[in-house]
Amino acid sequence: MLNHMKNIFILSFLSITIISDTSAQANFIQNIKARNIYNLDGRWHYIIDPYKTGEGSKFYLNRKQQSKSELIEYDFSAAPTLQVPGDWNSQDEKLLYYEGTVWYEHDFYVQPKTGKRYFLNFGAVNYEAHVYLNGKGLGKHIGGFTPFQFEVTNLLQSGNNFIVVEADNTRHKESVPTLNFDWWNYGGITRDVVLAEMNATFINDYKIQLTKGDLKTITGYIQLNGQQTSQKINIQIPEAGVQIKATTDANGKANFTMAVNKLTYWTSENPKLYNVVINSETDTVEEHIGFRTIETKGKDILLNGKPIFLRGTCLHEENPLIPGKPRSKGDLKMLLEWAKELNCNFVRLAHYPHNEYMSQLADEMGLMLWEEVPVYWDIDWTNNTTLNNAKNQLSELITRDKNRASVIVWSIGNETPTNDAREKFMEALADHVHALDNTRLVSAALLAHNAGNNTIELNDPLGNKLDIVSFNEYCGWYIDLPKEIGKYQFKIDYNKPVVISEFGGGALGGFHADAETRFSEEFQEVVYQNQLKLITTIDGLRGTCPWILIDFRSPKRLNDVYQMGWNRKGLYTETGKKKKAFFVMKTFYDEMQKKY
Ligand code: GCU
């Protein structure tokens, strides 16, 4: 390219960067789907742009040829379309393995009302998103699994409007997750997009939960957004005869504490939800909320003060029948119903925040949840931007799901190798979460190590910062054979509840052989039989999460006889067929349900 042209190009590139470098708002609108919204889901045009040509060519302007001789080297209206929400990998064969930039464009019609404010909200875009409205840069968001929003009140036009999103799922060393992970790197606008119409001053955020360890006190806050900061607030839980009055301060915030007598507490057997109505002088919002306390006492986990056992499973956010990212609430419900068939009361949502519908469904279905951010394997521990990114993903997740009774554990990571830089990083995350939410438990999936002498030892210093100690162990699969499992014992030096956050082995559904034939259902079955005998020797054991409920796609599983791009450790095949090991686990859970 010629020099002066290059200078023009660089200049225009720089101006774009400055416009779109604003980070999306962290304090996004709570429970946005219960507000007055325009749903922008549907078919969005897309342009695949591996060389990021669109940045220099300002694709965000969505320009149309004005004259027959004008040179414009893109045209969204002529481009194919993708379903939003949905990943691009499962919708266009060319994109199955694609990692890079895709431009999305969507037209919508709206008549903005005077005095109203408008917010564009994305449920999630993997991984980095730069968003434009009517050719203007709104800002960017980093992180593929949490919501973000922009206020667009001053940019919305009366009539036709258009959104352009530059989405890029390229993996980077300094990202969260980093370069190496064992799931499909689904790219795109993977969750709902809505435009919310709000009053000039509205109820932006609120937390309404029982105080930690206190079944008789509701604590929380209300945060207004707008000029009219000082307002009278009225919170009602009609069915429980509860009414809380408060007044917001000059910053639009009101904290409150309220004694309550007659509440039915949320449990997995009886997932009671109350309709909570919040009124301010200029806004109203309602939400179904369950009330429960969750805490630990010695080696026990107490739900509403009673010891529980977490009959868990791990789950990826993937609809195996597509296969791809779930595209509807129905897809998500199906996954949780499969967990229920295993008699689970607990699900570890691995390894990143799942769709917000998941926690709402879990509230309704009585499934307790472990929610996690993708601090996975070897992250860039000494990089401060990486640390802030991980903290931000935790903040966004906790902001989104803090009123979900089903969410009992925040997990700060998975299988992170012990070293000083990692300790510092992970301890900062643990402190960050404890500071943001003291009503739930904090954990991480730690790595136990083979201490020799058939001893599996867990002595990760991070365990001291966590409320429950959880670890992954793969005796019988990555270590030794199923028949050898019995020779092992554990050494766990914590006076805390223990949850096995992963164990198991693979099997190709329908492949039957003797119990020593790898990938046969019989091999997996014996892994489970012997693992359960071993695990139940742990005296602080208060939960188990087999890896994993359903076979899932992974670009790291390349054995074309048994894997074909799938991690085969599911208890269900990708077509929903139960493997032999499923029944071993179900029997165990039926017994545990009788005990607890
Ligand atoms: C790891 C990891 C999972 C992975 C699993 C496996 O423990 O946490 O993400 O898929 O093992 O190897 O199958």
For 497, phi then psi, to 5°, come to: -60, 145
Q: Kindly state if the Cβ of 472 falls inside 6 Å of ligand 1.
A: yes
Share of the chain above pLDDT 70, in %: 96
Q: Which atom of ligand 1 is nearest to the CA of 502?
A: 7
For residue 26, the model assigns a pLDDT of 55
Q: Which of 314, 443, 474, 502 to mutate to test the pocket of ligand 1 (most atoms within 8 A of CB)?
A: 502
Q: Which atom of ligand 1 is nearest to the CA of 415?
A: 8
358-383: b or e for each residue (b if 16 or more CB lie within 10 Å)? bbbbbbebbbbbbbbbbbbbebbbee
Question: Which single residue is written with the structure tokens 């000082």?
Answer: 230
Length of the chain as a residue count: 596
The closest residue, in CA terms, to atom 3 on ligand 1 is 182
Q: Kindly state if the Cβ of 501 falls inside 6 Å of ligand 1.
A: no
Q: Kindly state if the Cβ of 415 falls inside 6 Å of ligand 1.
A: yes
Between the CA of 431 and the centroid of ligand 1 the distance, in Å, is 26
* Mean pLDDT of the region 167-186: 98
3-state SS, residue 583: helix
For residue 10, the model assigns a pLDDT of 40
Residue 188 above 70 pLDDT?
yes
For residue 3, the model assigns a pLDDT of 45
Residue 316 above 60 pLDDT?
yes
Q: From 512, 516, 426, 434, select the one nearest 467 (Cα to Cα).
A: 434
Q: Kindly state if the Cβ of 313 falls inside 6 Å of ligand 1.
A: no
Q: From 586, 574, 579, 479, select the one nearest 522 (Cα to Cα).
A: 579
Cross-strand partners of 236: 243, 277
The lowest-confidence range among 16-30, 97-111, 395-409 is 16-30
* Mean pLDDT of the region 533-559: 98
For residue 323, the model assigns a pLDDT of 87
Q: Kindly state if the Cβ of 580 falls inside 6 Å of ligand 1.
A: no
The closest residue, in CA terms, to atom 4 on ligand 1 is 182
Structure tokens at 93: 């064969």
Q: Kindly state if the Cβ of 204 falls inside 6 Å of ligand 1.
A: no
Q: Kindly state if the Cβ of 182 falls inside 6 Å of ligand 1.
A: yes
Tell me the average pLDDT of the chain. 95
Cross-strand partners of 313: 347
Q: Which atom of ligand 1 is nearest to the CA of 478?
A: 12
Between the CA of 231 and the centroid of ligand 1 the distance, in Å, is 50
3-state SS, residue 533: helix
Antiparallel, parallel or unpaired: β 159-168 and 101-110: antiparallel
Q: Which atom of ligand 1 is nearest to the CA of 552?
A: 10
The closest residue, in CA terms, to atom 12 on ligand 1 is 182
Q: Kindly state if the Cβ of 589 falls inside 6 Å of ligand 1.
A: no
Q: Kindly state if the Cβ of 547 falls inside 6 Å of ligand 1.
A: yes
The closest residue, in CA terms, to atom 9 on ligand 1 is 182
Between the CA of 443 and the centroid of ligand 1 the distance, in Å, is 17
Between the CA of 348 and the centroid of ligand 1 the distance, in Å, is 13
Run of H or E including 245: strand 242-247
Cβ(155)–Cβ(131) under 8 Å?
Answer: no
Q: Which atom of ligand 1 is nearest to the CA of 351?
A: 9
* Mean pLDDT of the region 117-143: 98
For residue 27, the model assigns a pLDDT of 74
Grade residue 28 by pLDDT with cuts at 50, 70 and 90: confident
- 197-223: pLDDT as tens digits: 999 999 999 999 999 999 999 999 999
For residue 24, the model assigns a pLDDT of 53
Q: Kindly state if the Cβ of 181 falls inside 6 Å of ligand 1.
A: no
Run of H or E including 236: strand 232-237
- 461-507: pLDDT as tens digits: 999 999 999 999 999 999 999 999 999 999 998 999 999 999 999 99
pTM of the model as a whole? 0.95
Cα–Cα distance between 52 and 55 in angstroms, integer? 6
Run of H or E including 295: strand 294-297
DSSP 18: H
Between the CA of 184 and the centroid of ligand 1 the distance, in Å, is 13
Grade residue 18 by pLDDT with cuts at 50, 70 and 90: very low
Residue 562 above 60 pLDDT?
yes
* Mean pLDDT of the region 393-409: 98
Q: Kindly state if the Cβ of 569 falls inside 6 Å of ligand 1.
A: yes
* Mean pLDDT of the region 30-51: 98
* Mean pLDDT of the region 227-255: 97
Q: Kindly state if the Cβ of 396 falls inside 6 Å of ligand 1.
A: no
Between the CA of 339 and the centroid of ligand 1 the distance, in Å, is 19
